[in-house]
Amino acid sequence: MAIRQLRYIGDPILRKRSREVTEINDRIKTLLDDMLDTMYEHEGVGLAAPQVGILRRAVVIDIGEGPIKLINPEIIYEEGELIDVEGCLSIPNKAGTVKRPERVKVKYLDENGEEKIIEGTGLLAKALCHEVDHLDGILFIDKMIEEIVPEEEEE
């Protein structure tokens, strides 16, 4: 397993739509493991493949309840709304409020190619939506309602 190089705002790959994963092979499994290592190294709660330069529909998330690996995730249901603060490993030192669904259901494939559905509320719902957006070239700043300025920058 390895730490991969993060891509940052301004990198054109972050604005491209990722391709569907058509075969779950060792390369995809290694990618997911490396993405987890990279996410943990940078103290994130989610990471999408484009953030490490790979245009594939693969996402990892860990909100503190253990790692989740999602291949070809697709939001199939959303309910409610929640406005909360978000940040992104690809956009360092920037945070802002974003409106997301309070509850989502996401259909995906696991590492064994089995179709599964995960339901998320609160932080998990926010992370799922944020990472699926990455796969479509959408960044949280595109949906940001208001930027949060760190206190030391306020004068």
Nearest Cα to Cα of residue 31 among 58, 61, 13, 8: 58
- Max CA separation in the chain (angstroms): 53
Nearest Cα to Cα of residue 50 among 123, 130, 124, 107: 130
Question: Locate tokens 């330069």: which residue?
Answer: 53
Q: Are 50 and 134 in contact (CB under 8 A)?
A: yes
Nearest Cα to Cα of residue 26 among 112, 131, 108: 112
Q: Is 131 a catalytic residue?
A: yes
Of 20, 102, 131, 151, which is the active-site residue? Answer: 131
Q: Are 131 and 71 in contact (CB under 8 A)?
A: no
Residues taking part in catalysis? 131
